[in-house]
Amino acid sequence: MHNVFVSKENIEPIKEQLIPIITNSWVKEQPYNHLKEFNNIPLNENNPIVYKCKETLYDLFLNRINSIFKNYTVYENNVRTVYSYVSNKDFTNGNWHNHNTTGSISGVYYLKCIKGRGIYFRDKGIVEYIEPVENELYIFPSNLDHYPLPSFTNEIRISCNLNLMCIEPIHQLFDPKNIREKI
């Protein structure tokens, strides 16, 4: 799908730290018991390890954005939140959505993938399925509808989602004239 950029990222050290923390929280705190429709929850920044990992992920996201876009201006009130989307048999909710109200450019890191539980993107009635691979980063317009497929097994699917709010409108950011060579 055009306007979806994919890159392999070196995030193994981050994954080694985050996956056990997220998994432990998922099993012990069972946040899915109070989450009804949506489970995109901010990483717990009170944990110093998580905070450092979140900052590193966001910086890598910004570096990759810089390698894709020629011109963009970060909105002064941009929030550097990193959300985690977690699912397994205990929480199987998923839905079509976009991040139009929270960003201009969205990104998703895939920390733990489940075969056949990828993501659908929908643009102007055209739907495309993508099977992500661990350590990949997907960057796309925040107004692009997408549907992450939840896991229905004991295995936990984990992705981390980020947004960058820019001053320029999305159509201007993703104009082919503003894109460097595809990554």
What is the pLDDT confidence band of residue 45, given thresholds at 50, 70 and 90? low
Burial class of residue 28, CB neighbours in 10 A (0-12, 13-18, 19+): exposed
The CATH superfamily of 5-168 is q2cbj1_9rhob like domain (2.60.120.620)
How many percent of the chain have pLDDT more than 70? 92
Question: What is the predicted pLDDT for the residue at 38?
Answer: 55
Q: Where are the alpha helices (DSSP H) in the chain?
A: 12-29, 48-68, 170-173
pTM of the model: 0.91
| CB proximity list for 125: less than 8 A, separation 6 or greater | none
| Confidence at residue 118, expressed as pLDDT on a 0 to 100 scale | 94
Q: What is the pLDDT of residues 1-43, one digit of tens each?
A: 679 999 999 999 999 999 998 888 888 877 777 765 555 556 6
